[in-house]
Homo-oligomer: A and B are copies of this chain.
Amino acid sequence: MEKRSENLTDLNQIGEFGLIDLITKDFKIVNDSTELSIGDDAAVLNYKNQKIIVTTDMLVEGVHFDLSYFPLKHLGYKAVISSISDICAMCGTTKQITVSIAVSNRFKLESIQELYSGIKYACNRYNVDLIGGDTTSSLTGLVISVSAIGCVSKSNYVTRSGSKPNDLIVVSGSLGGAYLGLQVLEREKQVFLVNSNSKPDLSKYKYVVERQLKPEAKSEIVEFFLENKIRPSSMIDISDGLSSEIIHLCKKSGNGCVIYEEKIPISKETVDTCEEFKLEASTIALSGGEDYELLFTIDSKYLKNIEQHKEFSVIGYITKESNTNLITKDGKTTPISSMGWKSF
């Protein structure tokens, strides 16, 4: 019953965002309780003035993770973190999750328990309740789908749109580590495939590997905003890469930006590993995904609050013109292009 012919369109011709646009454009919102729908980090529901945030993610073995080096406990943890991070990006607090899994018969009970021990660890760490899900078989591999539900404080949620010219562009933590961790793990896998007696010493790469295998959601930053009554004008989490996310923010607000390469936060461990892999650290920081840091824009009156927070780096500012530009370390201006994660 599928359509198969030479005249049909491959999904990689239109890409994930093109696909989403095409399949969702004819859906009309009919319920008053739907306040914000498709197109942000999460949707916002308004039930009798109680605003609720909902997001969902799907992870597929062989596409999003490789179980030959990704421990199941870490995978369970990361699957939950990824959804919590989306709620953080709305300035919300995650309260509940549902987890559905499809597993082939190669998976044993003990493996599934490992996966759920990581899910439980994340629930404990972030005070989230597992409230439901589905468990079923698959013909091959493992698929995990996590939906997260959160609430918003009185100060309201923050979307991807809302930035104004001269707003500061701020990023939390440091970038590029998760991508490099993946490169290290992939390299060790190749070594192992050639020589199965090899015992990788990953101690040198502890930081970057941990960024890949055990990322954290930035719920403390959301709490900092709420406690200090600071409200970003727009926000997104960095799952696909800084360049891709900054373009999202600018497009949504119909403006542009200037980013200073020298201001992009990159850890020493990331720089060292980049040198070993002969990679340009700034490129990795701009294009590498899965760091789950927060990228936000904020009125410059908050500069002092931002500077006082050790996690924050001001990396540029919003411009009225729609160009998204990078000022390189040698002072040249170059357009930022999106090289984020491609689903198809």
Is A300 in contact with chain B by the CB < 8 A criterion? no
Q: How far is the CA of A14 from the CA of B108 in the complex (A)?
A: 11
Q: How far is the CA of A50 from the CA of B102 in the complex (A)?
A: 32
Complex interface bits, A1-30 against B, C-beta within 8 A gives 1, otherwise 0 = 111100011111110100110111011011
| Contacting residues, chain B, for A11 (C-beta < 8 A) | 103, 105, 107-109, 112, 137
Closest B residue to A131 by CB, please name it. Answer: B43
Is A155 in contact with chain B by the CB < 8 A criterion? no
Report the copy number of this chain in the oligomer: 2
Min CB distance, A193 to chain B, in Å?
A: 15
The answer to whether A9 touches B110 (Cβ under 8 A) is yes
| Contacting residues, chain B, for A72 (C-beta < 8 A) | 1-2
Q: How far is the CA of A106 from the CA of B139 in the complex (A)?
A: 16
Is A197 in contact with chain B by the CB < 8 A criterion? no
The answer to whether A145 touches B2 (Cβ under 8 A) is no
Q: How far is the CA of A112 from the CA of B8 in the complex (A)?
A: 11
Given contacts A62-B139, A120-B27, contact A54 B1 (CB under 8 A): no
The answer to whether A108 touches B45 (Cβ under 8 A) is no
The answer to whether B14 touches A109 (Cβ under 8 A) is yes
Min CB distance, A111 to chain B, in Å?
A: 5
- Within A88-117, the residues touching B (CB, 8 Å) are 95-96, 98, 100-103, 105-114, 116
Is A67 in contact with chain B by the CB < 8 A criterion? yes
Min CB distance, A268 to chain B, in Å?
A: 28
Q: Which of A61, A127, A128, A147 has the most CB of B within 10 A?
A: A147
Q: How far is the CA of A14 from the CA of B100 in the complex (A)?
A: 18
The answer to whether B110 touches A33 (Cβ under 8 A) is no
Given contacts A1-B67, A72-B2, A149-B45, contact A140 B139 (CB under 8 A): yes
Is A69 in contact with chain B by the CB < 8 A criterion? yes
Q: How far is the CA of A108 from the CA of B7 in the complex (A)?
A: 10
Closest B residue to A35 by CB, please name it. Answer: B131
Q: How far is the CA of A149 from the CA of B63 in the complex (A)?
A: 28
Is A156 in contact with chain B by the CB < 8 A criterion? no
Is A132 in contact with chain B by the CB < 8 A criterion? yes
| Contacting residues, chain B, for A71 (C-beta < 8 A) | 1
The answer to whether B129 touches A56 (Cβ under 8 A) is no
Is A55 in contact with chain B by the CB < 8 A criterion? yes
Partner among B60, B62, B129, B137 whose Cβ is within 8 Å of the Cβ of A37 = B129
Q: How far is the CA of A52 from the CA of B50 in the complex (A)?
A: 11
The answer to whether B23 touches A54 (Cβ under 8 A) is no
The answer to whether A54 touches B137 (Cβ under 8 A) is no
Which residues on A are within 8 Å of B, measured CB to CB?
Answer: 1-4, 8-14, 16, 19-20, 22-24, 26-27, 29-31, 33-34, 37-38, 42-43, 45, 47-48, 50, 52, 54-58, 60-64, 67-72, 95-96, 98, 100-103, 105-114, 116, 120, 123, 127-141, 143, 145, 147, 149, 151, 343-344
| 4 tightest Cβ-Cβ pairs between the two chains A and B | A8-B108, A9-B109, A145-B145, A43-B131
17 extra interface residue pairs, beta carbon distance < 8 Å, beyond A8-B109, A34-B96, A37-B131: A1-B72, A2-B67, A2-B111, A11-B105, A11-B108, A38-B133, A42-B132, A45-B96, A54-B147, A56-B147, A57-B100, A57-B134, A58-B143, A63-B138, A102-B143, A140-B140, A143-B143
